[in-house]
Amino acid sequence: MAKDFTKPDPSVVLDLLQAFRWSKTMFAAVSLGVFDALAEGPRSLESLADGLKANQDALRRLLDGCVGLQLLDRDDNGYRTTPASATYLCRKSPLSVASYINYSNTFYWKLWANLEDAVREGTHRWKQAFGWEDNIFANVFRTEEAKREFLLAMHGYGLMTSPEVVAAFDLSRFRSFVDVGGATGHLAIAACERYPDMRGVVFDLNEVVPLAREVVGASKVAGRIEVVAGDFFEDPLPPGDLYGLGRILHDWPEQKIHKLLSKMYERLPPGGGVLIMEKLIHEDRRGPVWALMQSLNMLTLMEGKERTLSEYETLFKRAGFGDVYGSRNATPLDAVLALKAPIPPPSLRSPHSA
């Protein structure tokens, strides 16, 4: 008798087979300037093809692909942006992540093409993809245009996540927030906007300082934030009672993290803390998918990885910190707060703490 055989649903395989095409469609549309060209309103195919200097038939396929992906819509007036693409994919939008998408298209896409070798060797792929031998940041900052694109990529991502991170815990008891490796200062800006008695410092490399001052200077809290140049591994840290690390620790292996956290611990007053912004992997390592994919991204990109809350707790306690709290957020990044004794009362904890 023949066995009763029911085929499993193939959608998980078929969706992933298509996924790189979906990403590249969005990447190409951003790179070509499609969403910026539509920022002022609908335009016909002919007008877009002329303005973007693109083949009309090929552009139609790209635009229709964006319609299918719900990044564009189309009616008798032509193609137009959707609320999501107008907000996140147009460069003039204050919440734009277009620079991050271009960075993903220019760098991440090529690094991920060598994922198999990264897994075999356990090292990043910069040399294989680009032939770069030295520090990757030196290459990312190789021109003013490249440096600005990278920093604005991090800034756009931070605008979506930093407000949630500084709201994850009650930080009102802290008075001086030092955003270490803060780039454009989005984390310090979010902290000072939420806590009116807090003052901030953005601490980053000398070549980052001009753009940081530009962004901070345009914020509502410019008068309460200072921008200071320095290397957080080599130079003394500015004084503060709360240090922030926005997507810094996932760049580095344990020994470098220990060096930095120990440095912070020694610099902090009793009761001070460190707030980090990373995506936490679940303790059973089954998710969330965003964190698991980002950990693979770090494999191709840097020396670090994404971690579980318990792994971060181990790192903090090894450096001398006491209680460590985690908060999982709806945005792409979570929050972890580590405190130097004396340990504050439980009321400090967010109701969303992990």
Query: In this structure, what token pair is assigned to residue 268?
Result: 């902090």
Please give the structure tokens belonging to residue 35: 């969403």
**What is the chain's Cα-based Rg?**
22
Establish whether 250 is a catalytic residue: yes
- Which position among 124, 250, 282, 352 bears the catalytic label? 250
- The three-point CA angle 222-228-229 to 5° equals 140
Catalytic residues: 250
